[in-house]
Amino acid sequence: MILKPEEYYLFFEEWNLDPNQWSIFLDTFAVLLTIIGFLIAFFMYGKQRKDKAQDAFDFFQASLPELKGSINKIISDLKEFQRDLDLDNSVNPVISTSLNDNFLAKINLVDLNRYYRKNRNDKLSIFKSFLVDSNFFSDYHSYISNEINYFRTAYQQEQNTFSKWQLLRSKRFFSKNTGQDKVDYEDFYGEWVDDFIKDDKIFEQEKDGKSLKLKNRQKLVEHKITALASDILPFIESSQKANKVNMIANNVIDSYSEMSKMKSKLKLVLEKDTDRFQDILANLNLLLENK
């Protein structure tokens, strides 16, 4: 008795295959399923990356207007501070705290960079410049506050010395010496004080002629205090009061010089920072699509 080999078929008996053929078929089918699964996974991964890049871009664009407003505010604050320095106004600036780049911490920058590389390649270099600039403006408030606080402390120290010029407009420094030296010194100093307090180029005057308020520090130092420090030298040897006047005058001159240098240095920093922010704002406007 001869046994027939086992035969297998799918749906119909005519589609019969022997075991080896079925094994090859199933292996091939498994490979095809693997390839199809890989293609589906690859497609889903690509779509997911595309969606994430789009989400990052949308959030980035939605955040730019607020950042633009903050940069405009800081530019305005810096310019106002520079004007105050030019006018010798009290140095008490208020710098906006609204400037920050916290929204960048909420964005996957890899996704955002991918979006610009694939969809806005013409703006990719501008975007990369913006990322570099973000390191500057994200810490700017802390940085400039420290700079200004240091300036104010040092400036106030010099201001305290400079303000001693007010002692010179009184007659407290008349000499107690006797003789002709006293007469000559008192004539010189009395005439200087009278001329000093009536100088309307330096002081705002009341109707009765009394000085009211200092209005020009530069003229005060260059036209009055500097001349006093020089002209009083002949009286120093014979009068301790004259020596004291000379010392105060020179201290006032030195303090004014230091204050001027400090202001010039800070103004240079503020001007450079203002220019930098204006460049950042120009790049931001190029990136902003919903203006």
Q: What is the Cα–Cα distance from 217 to 159, expressed in whole angstroms?
A: 12
At residue 65's C-alpha, the angle toward residues 63 and 132, to 5°, is 65
pLDDT in tens, 17-56: 556 665 776 667 677 777 877 777 766 666 777 878 888 8
Q: How close are the terminal C-alpha atoms of the chain, in Å?
A: 92
Give me 204's structure tokens: 């705002």
The pLDDT confidence band at residue 272, using thresholds 50, 70 and 90, is very high
Contact residues for 65 (Cβ-Cβ < 8 A; gap 6+)? 288, 290
Residue 280: count of CB within 10 angstroms of its CB: 22
Compare 238 and 6 and report the one with higher pLDDT. Answer: 238
The pLDDT confidence band at residue 89, using thresholds 50, 70 and 90, is low
For the full predicted model, state whether its pTM sits above 0.75. Answer: no
